[in-house]
Amino acid sequence: MNSWLTSLFARSPFGPIQEHQHKVQECAEMVPQIIEACLRQDQELLRRLVKEVSRKENEADEIKNHVRDQLPRSLFMPVSRGDLLQVLSAQDAIADNAEDLGVLISMRKMEPVPDEVAELLLRLVHKCIQVVRQSTEVVDYLGTLVHSSFAGPEAQKVLELIDDLDREEHEADKIQDQLAKAFFRNEDHFKPAAIFLWMKIFNKVGDLANFAEKMTHRVRLFMAK
């Protein structure tokens, strides 16, 4: 009986979820390199980077599937299985989005981009990656939160991290708005197909921060239960 109880309580899902988030971050960290290769029109490097982000996304999927298969259904879980699956799903969306960006950017050889647009695009990319990194920091606190019963200084620290992440995501939204305006000021530089593709790319970049914010809001919700 003691052995059974020990194994029941010992199976924590938070380590694998943290492992998954770190692999997700690896996928996201490829995006600035992909964007920079595209802006430099380095097609050979771009192909390698797109292939690499796809490989990392596949690794993230393998971890995700393992977490889903092994996630305890026990009544003794400190957080509901459904809540944890929602966190995992939001993490997964970040990795999927990074891979989608690579696919979009490699669909056609892009024309040179005006400096004003390139500068704002890089600002947006780096701001969104900063938000993803902050979301990883939140996930890294999950084990500590369980031990503190989602209360006390540890919980307050996580709430502050999420609030700060929300502010950074809002800054990313503002940069994305500036980018769209700059792009249309220079739309004569682009062919119609390129305009359509770049707008999808801009949205995908912004979604990196959106999905990271969504994931941390899931954490906030189950902390409040």
Measured distance CA(125)–CA(35) in Å, rounded: 8
Whether 205 is covered by a domain: the verdict is yes
pLDDT tens across 40-55, in order?
Answer: 999 999 999 999 999 9
Q: State the residue for tokens 């239960």.
A: 225
Measured distance CA(211)–CA(124) in Å, rounded: 15
How crowded is residue 95: how many other Cβ atoms within 10 Å of its Cβ? 28
Measured distance CA(195)–CA(209) in Å, rounded: 22
Cβ-in-10-Å burial (0-12, 13-18, 19+) of 59 comes to middle
Measured distance CA(27)–CA(215) in Å, rounded: 16
Half-sphere exposure of 150 (CA within 13 A, CB side): 9
pLDDT > 90: percent of the chain? 74
Instruction: List Cβ neighbours of 154 (8 Å cut-off, separation of 6 or more).
Output: 141, 144, 145, 148
Mean pLDDT value across residues 33-39: 97
Whether 94 is covered by a domain: the verdict is yes
pLDDT tens across 90-113, in order?
Answer: 999 999 999 999 999 999 888 899
Whether the pLDDT of residue 214 is over 80: the answer is yes
Whether the pLDDT of residue 125 is over 60: the answer is yes
Measured distance CA(144)–CA(54) in Å, rounded: 32
Q: What is the pLDDT of residue 9?
A: 40
Mean pLDDT value across residues 192-206: 95
The one-letter code for the residue type at 149 is S
Number of domains forming the structure of the chain: 1
**Residue 33 per-residue DSSP state:** H
How crowded is residue 71: how many other Cβ atoms within 10 Å of its Cβ? 17
Whether 123 is covered by a domain: the verdict is yes
For residues 110 and 200, the answer to whether their CB atoms sit within 8 Å is: no
Give start and end residues of each alpha helix (H) in 71-151.
81-105, 115-140, 142-147
Whether the pLDDT of residue 6 is over 70: the answer is no
pLDDT tens across 142-192, in order?
Answer: 888 877 777 788 889 999 999 999 999 999 999 999 999 999 999 999 999
Average pLDDT in the chain: 90
Q: Could you tell me the CATH number of the domain that includes residue 188?
A: 1.20.58.220
Q: What is the pLDDT of residue 11?
A: 55
Cβ-in-10-Å burial (0-12, 13-18, 19+) of 10 comes to exposed
Whether 63 is covered by a domain: the verdict is yes
Whether 3 is covered by a domain: the verdict is no
Whether the pLDDT of residue 2 is over 90: the answer is no
Q: Which domain holds residue 85?
A: 8-224
Better-scored residue on pLDDT, 30 or 74: 30
Whether 1 is covered by a domain: the verdict is no
Measured distance CA(158)–CA(135) in Å, rounded: 10
Q: What is the pLDDT of residue 83?
A: 86
Whether 77 is covered by a domain: the verdict is yes
Measured distance CA(33)–CA(110) in Å, rounded: 16
Whether 2 is covered by a domain: the verdict is no
The two structure tokens encoding residue 62:
């393998």
